[in-house]
Amino acid sequence: MHDVTPRKVGLARALSKLGFCSRAQAAQLIRKGKVRINGAVRRDPETPVHPSKDRIEIDGQRIAASEKIYFALNKPRGIVTTASDEKGRETVYALLSADLPWVAPVGRLDKASEGLLLLTNDSEWAARVTAPETHLDKTYHVQVARIADAALLEALKNGIRTKEGETLGVKGASLLRQGERNSWLEIILEEGRNRHIRRMLETLGMEVLRLIRVAIGPLALGDLPKAAVRRLTAEEKLTLDRTMLQNAKNTTPHL
**Residue 117: DSSP 8-state:** E
End-to-end CA distance of the chain: 36
Q: Which residues 6+ apart lie within 8 Å of 133 measured at CB?
A: 247, 248, 251
224 phi and psi angles, rounded to 5 deg: -60, 120
Question: Is 223 noted as a catalytic residue in this protein?
Answer: no
Please report the DSSP string for 97-115 in residue order.
-TTSPP-EEES---TT-EE
The rounded distance, in Å, linking the Cα atoms of 175 and 184 is 6
User: Do residues 232 and 70 make contact, with C-beta atoms less than 8 angstroms apart?
Assistant: yes
Catalytic one of 44, 110, 122, 223: 110
User: Which residues are catalytically annotated?
Assistant: 110
